[in-house]
Amino acid sequence: MLLRTRRCLPAALSRAAVHPRVSPALPSPGAPRQHGPVAVANQGSALEPRSGPIDWVRSSTMARANPATLFPASTGGHYRIGMQARWFSSAGLPPHMVIGMPALSPTMNQGNITKWRKQEGDKIEVGDVICEIETDKATLEFETLEEGYLAKILVPEGSKDVQVGQPIYVTVEESDDIEKIPADTSFGGDHKEDESSGSAAQTVEVDAAEQSPVMSRISPAAKMLIKEHGLNASLLKASGPRGTLLKGDVLAALKSGTALSSAKEKTAPAAPSPQPARDSQVHSQTTSPKSDTFEDITNTQIRKVIAKRLLESKQTTPHLYLSKDVILDPLLAFRNELKEQHGVKVSVNDIVIKAVALALRNVPEANAYWDNSKEEAQKCDSVDISIAVATEKGLMTPIIRNADQKTISAISSEVKQLAEKARAGKLAPNEFQGGTFSISNLGMYPVDHFCAIINPPQAGILAVGRGNKVVVPVMDNDGTEKAAVVTKMMLTLSADHRIFDGQVGGKFFTELALNFSDIRRLLL
């Protein structure tokens, strides 16, 4: 099951501005709709949680409302898309509406069209799911608030890296108007929007010398690859809508070797001097890719965001690494006691979460983040632990909020629910956005210790290795020394050195070690 989003008007717009019975300046619902640039409809803002019920407004009212950018409301259980809408009435075309790719998460700047639920010619009702969009966080159902007919799909199913604001489909009011929209009509640049609306399609015209009768447009990513490899764009085959050359077209040409031969034809001199056969063979071996020696693996939007954020973290956050071994035997004994005497089944990681949360509560300097605008550390009001969960699409970090105030059994139950939703792609934005500290546990694998990368804007992440039995010297009651076997687990803290210094890190590990040695502190 997919997350579902709706488009709605913001609370900031009063009902007097949208309801015909309140504002006498607006036409009545039965009055014929005026066309031309009356109102705007292009979803380009970020998806944000919204508190309280959503006010639904019919498309006829929306079309008559004044153009306004809609801003996110407060957090809560509903979601909305900031949007703008515009009815167009161009020469030779019936009144129509061009809908752009929406931003369905705060960090989304592009998305993938995974499936079209409606096809060209279908009737569209309020609340119908138009398509499914894969964002950098999850796959969401995109609903419409406008009534009409789907006249033209501009971005085919399966399209990757569609920029936010790029037109994806066109609607008309009447079924008879569908045939009046020519198949070769381009909607990418027909209507110039305000720069702040972000609705203009991000496409770049090819130079006149490189244009061909078939291809007249090229995506920014494709143009970057063409410049990087010195290719001739006019010789590449375009597969995008309206003859647009896409990034995948360039990559396919590079993989097949067609692009390299095109580049050589473009840059080769008119009368090249003959080369020795041996040099020619060596040149062809070094420049021509072999399709049987590698395989392209398509990245999901989630993995692309992970790669970008981790690189930024290592480049902009000064990492401080601290490690400590803790004795795991008291924790294991406590876990067995809960299971045998109370019938409560919890994992080692559940107890680790509780121990870390209490340590952060007792050392509030460690539960903080760096404010770039103020250039100082800011303490967090709550202890919200992000836990790393591996999914097929990439690593997700659902959040246990107020973990220091919850029982171990409550934490265990919540972790299971969030992990299941993460693997199914059903996490709501408020369930993975935020967090004050992260835990990454690889103890279920043969990993003794590792160093994790901080997840900004958080200031710390704890890497948990597996438990190993080791022999250590212990003192007997009579003062004699003997050997004992204990289970040790290494914990490695990666911390923002702007917030954590040696003293703060030492205090945090001191509190954490006490929680492991005297496990009943977790019950207080």
Residues with a catalytic annotation lie at 497, 501
Cα-only R_g, the chain: 29
Backbone angles phi and psi of 306, in degrees to 5: -60, -45
* Vertex 401 angle, CA 396 and 402, to 5°: 150
- Between CA 180 and CA 60 the distance in angstroms is 22
Structure tokens at 221: 């990513």
- Between CA 328 and CA 389 the distance in angstroms is 23
- The conformation of residue 71, written as its DSSP 8-state character, comes to -
Write 503-507 long-range contacts (CB < 8 A, 24+): 504/363, 504/365, 504/366, 505/320, 505/322, 505/366, 506/322, 507/363, 507/365, 507/366
Tell me which residue of 120, 128, 146 sits closest to 33, measured CA to CA: 146
327 in Cβ contact with 516 (< 8 Å): yes
Question: DSSP states of 392-424 as a string?
Answer: TTEEE--EETTGGGS-HHHHHHHHHHHHHHHHH
For the chain, the farthest-separated pair of C-alpha atoms sits apart, in whole angstroms, at 101
Beta-ladder partners of 485: 471
Tell me which residue of 191, 201, 165 sits closest to 44, measured CA to CA: 165
278 in Cβ contact with 256 (< 8 Å): no
Kind and range of the H or E run holding 86: strand 78-88
463 in Cβ contact with 438 (< 8 Å): no
185 in Cβ contact with 172 (< 8 Å): no
Q: Is the dihedral of CA 282, 283, 287, 289 positive or negative?
A: negative
164 in Cβ contact with 100 (< 8 Å): yes
- Between CA 77 and CA 50 the distance in angstroms is 6
CA atoms within 13 A on the CB side of 152: 25
Tell me which residue of 141, 176, 124, 202 sits closest to 5, measured CA to CA: 141
